A and B are shown apart, each in its own frame.
Chain A
C-alpha cells in the first residue's frame, strides 16, 4: 500500500483527489470565480449565471433591437406583479438598459412599467406599498404607473355593458356604487374558483392592453416563466380556449392589435428563483409566492391552480417534458380569419376555428348568449351550473 504506484491507483488516495476537487470549484464558464450555483448541469459563478439568464431573455427580444440602430425606438409595456418572474424580467431589462446607456449604445427599445395594485386583484392581497416604494427608490429612472383593477371601468367604458350582458339577468349592476364595489359585485356573481380565475385573467389582460394602447406601447412583455406557460397552455385547453393559445402562450399579435411577447419562455421558475436569490436589489421588491395550500380538495381548486400544481409536480421529474408543452403551443399557426366575429369579453374567436368541423359549439347553441361570447367565456358564465 505504501508503494508510490498503489497510492496513485487507489481511489482513496488523497494525493489524486485533492487537486481535482480544487478544479471543480471554479465556474465552468469564466474559469476564474468560484462556482455558486448549478444550472442545467453546469456549475457557474453568480455573474456568469446572471449573464446566462439575461442572454436567454434578450435573445427573445432581439427583434426589437434589430431595428433599433437608426429606426424608431420601440416602446414596450412590462406589467409588474411583484412576483418573482416579472420582477426578474424587470431586473434583466433594467440591467441591459443601464449597460447600453453607459456604453453609449442605442437602446432599440424602451419599456414602461405598469403595476395593477395587487390588493385590488386578490382579496387576500399582501400589502405592497413598501415594495412599490422600494421599486421607485431603487429604480428612479423608470416610468412606473400604478392603477387599481377597478379602473377597468375608466379605461374600457363599454365594460359595464359587457359585464351586464355576460353575467345575465341575475346580476344587476348598480351604477350609483363606486367602481370598486361594482367590480367586486360582478366578480362575486361568478360562483366557481375556475370561472372566477378565468374571468379575472380576461379582465386583467384587457386592462393591461388598454393601458398599453393609451401609453403608446406596441407590445406587452409578460413575465410568464416556461413552467407558467406550460400550465397556462394546459389550463387553456382544459377550459375550451385552445384556439387562443396562439397569443395567450405563443409570442404573437393579440386580437387588440398589441403584440404579446413572453421573453421568459426559455426559463424555468426554479431558475428565476435562483436568479432572484443572487440579486440583492430584488429582495425588497419581490412579494414571495404563497406556499400552496396542502389541504384543498381537488374539486375546490381552480383549473389554473390544478395545472400549476401539475406542472410543478411533474416538472420536478420531467422538466423537459413540461418545457416542451409551451414550445409545442408556440408552434401553432395563429388563426387567419381576420374578419371573423370575436367574443365581446375576451376577443377570442366565436364558434370554431376555420377548418374545424366539430359540433361542440352546436351542442350548446340553445343559449342565445353564444352569439356574443365565445365558448370559453360561456363556460365561465355566472349561471352555468357547473
Chain B
C-alpha cells in the first residue's frame, strides 16, 4: 500500500490518525496542530495576561508534562510573557510518588522552570501511606483528593502565585459532565466545565488549558515529542473501578470520535442553564464525593465507584418510598405538579462561602472538609504516633492543620 500523504501539508508521509477526527497527519503537522489548538483555547478564553506568574500543577504524569511542554513552547512562540514554574504535591506514597517526583525534577531541568514541592506530611501531618494504614485502601482517594486540592492552593499561596494550571483534559471534563448528570449534581454540573474555576473568596484561580485536548492526543503528543513522563498509576488504586461514566465515554468515542468534545459542549451549555439559586450549593455531604470531582489524581480522577452508586440508589429509593407514603395520605394535586414543574421547584439551600474556623481555607461549612477528615484521622491515631497531645476539647482552638501550616510557612521563609 502506498503511504498516505499528510492531510494538512499534503507532502510528508502521514504517520498519525488523529483520534479526534481521524485525519491522517504527519508528525510535524500533528504537533503543530495540537499546539495551535491549545493556543486558540488560551486566546479564545483570555486565560492569561502578560507578565502573569503561573504555577503548573505537575505530577510527572503525561497530562501535566504535556501541559508544561506546550506552555513553554507557546509562551516562547507567541510571547505570552508568562513567568512559569512547576508546583508538585508529595502525597507521600512510597513507590509511586517518590518515583514520579524524580520525573518532575528532571522536567524542571529540561524546561528550565523552578520547581516547588509541598508534602502532605508537612501540611497535614499525615502521608498517604499513613492514611491508608489507618483507613484501608477503600475510600482513601477521598482523603487524597480533598488534601490535594487544598495543597495546590496553599503551595501557590506560599509562592505568591495567583494562577494554578492543571492538566485536566477533554476526557476528564466529559467524564465529569456525564458523572454529574448521573449523580444529579446540578451545582457541580454548573461549574465542572468552565476553563477557569475561581471563587470570589479566593484569590487563587485554577484553570485547565488542555480542557479541549483528547487524552489520546496528549499521549501521542508526548510520544512524538519524546517527553519524559511517568506512566505508573497510583499504587493505591490499581484496582480502580472503571466507573460508569468512563466506560460510557470510551464506548461513545468508538461510535463517534467527536463525542468527547460534544459532551464538553453540552456540558458548557447546560452549565449556563443551571438555575442560579442552585449553582453554589454542593452535594458532597450527601454522596461523599470529592470537592472537585476530576481532582487531578492520575488514576481515580472523576470516577465514581460502584459503592457510591449503590449508596445513592438506596437513598433515592428511600426518598421515593417516603414520597409515595406522603402522596397517599394527602393529594394536593395541582400544587404538587406545579412544584415539580418549575426548574427551581426543589428547594435548594444557597451556599454561603465562609472560611474554615480551623485553617481559614475557603469552605461552605464551618469546618472545611480537610479539617473534618483530619479530625477523624487524628481521633483514631495510635497514641504513640501523636506528636503533641491534642485532646478532643483542645481541637477547636489548635488544630493540627493550623500548626502544620505555620510550620510550613516558617520553613518556606
- Chain A residues with a Cβ under 8 A of chain B: 40-41, 59-60, 62-63, 66, 192, 194, 233-234, 236-243, 245-246, 250-251, 298-299, 301-303, 306, 310, 314, 317-321, 323-325, 327-335, 352-363, 375-376, 379, 384-386
Contact = CB atoms under 8 A, between A and B. Distances in A.
B258 interface: yes
- 3 tightest CB-CB pairs across the interface, nearest first? A242-B266, A320-B316, A240-B262
15 contacts: A59-B337, A192-B255, A240-B262, A242-B269, A302-B255, A303-B252, A320-B312, A321-B183, A328-B189, A330-B340, A331-B344, A332-B274, A334-B273, A352-B268, A362-B40
A238 B272 contact: no
B129 to A, nearest CB: 34
Given A237-B267, A328-B184, A319 B256 contact: no
A356 B269 contact: yes
Contacts of A334: 273, 343
A354 B272 CA distance: 7
A143 B403 CA distance: 77
A332 B343 CA distance: 6
Nearest to B268: A358
Contact of B333 (A62, A251, A303, A330): A62
A363 B315 CA distance: 41
Interface string B158-190: 000000000000000000011001111110010
Residue of B182, B254, B275, B315 contacting most chain A CB atoms (<10 Å) = B182
Nearest to B261: A360
Contact of B272 (A355, A359, A376): A355
A361 B181 contact: no
Contact of A245 (B45, B212, B270, B272): B270
Contact of B255 (A241, A306, A323): A306
B280 interface: no
Given A192-B256, A320-B313, A359 B44 contact: yes
A40 B319 CA distance: 12
A233 B273 CA distance: 14
Nearest to B320: A320
Contacts, number: 193
A327 B184 contact: yes
Contacts of A59: 333, 336-337
A321 B308 CA distance: 11
Contact of A234 (B23, B181, B343): B181
Interface string B343-356: 11110000000000
Nearest to B195: A358
A237 B269 CA distance: 10
B121 interface: no
A353 B269 contact: yes
B266 A236 contact: yes
Nearest to A318: B313
B248 A310 contact: yes
A250 B343 CA distance: 9
Interface of B: 21-23, 37, 40-41, 44-45, 177-178, 181-186, 189, 193-195, 212, 244, 248, 251-252, 254-259, 261-275, 278, 309-310, 312-313, 315-317, 320-321, 324, 333-334, 336-338, 340-341, 343-346
Nearest to B21: A385
Nearest to B196: A357
B384 to A, nearest CB: 44
A356 B45 CA distance: 11
A239 B334 contact: no
A354 B271 CA distance: 10
Contacts of A321: 182-183, 309, 312-313, 316
Contacts of A314: 244
A63 B265 contact: no
Given A63-B341, A237-B181, 18 more contacts: A59-B337, A192-B255, A234-B178, A239-B259, A240-B262, A242-B269, A243-B266, A298-B254, A320-B315, A325-B184, A328-B184, A335-B273, A355-B272, A356-B272, A358-B195, A362-B40, A362-B44, A379-B258
B267 A333 contact: no
Nearest to A241: B266
A303 B256 contact: yes
Contacts of B309: 318, 321
A242 B274 CA distance: 12
A2 B259 CA distance: 72
B119 to A, nearest CB: 36
B181 A233 contact: yes
A215 B156 CA distance: 64
A318 B313 CA distance: 6
Given A251-B341, A314-B244, A356 B268 contact: yes
B405 to A, nearest CB: 35
B283 to A, nearest CB: 11
Contacts of B337: 59-60, 62-63
A385 B44 CA distance: 25
Contact of B251 (A60, A251, A298, A362): A298
B184 A306 contact: no
Contacts of A241: 266
Given A234-B178, A328-B181, A358-B265, A66 B312 contact: no
Most-contacted residue by chain B among A245, A328, A358, A375 (CB, 10 A): A358
Given A62-B334, A241-B266, A320-B316, A306 B251 contact: yes
Nearest to A359: B44
A40 B189 CA distance: 30
A360 B20 CA distance: 13
Contacts of B23: 385
Contacts of B268: 242, 352-353, 356, 358, 360
Contact of B273 (A194, A325, A332): A332
Contacts of B194: 357
Contacts of A356: 268-269, 271-272
A385 B22 contact: yes
A302 B346 CA distance: 34
A386 B257 contact: yes
A7 B11 CA distance: 93
Contacts of A246: 273
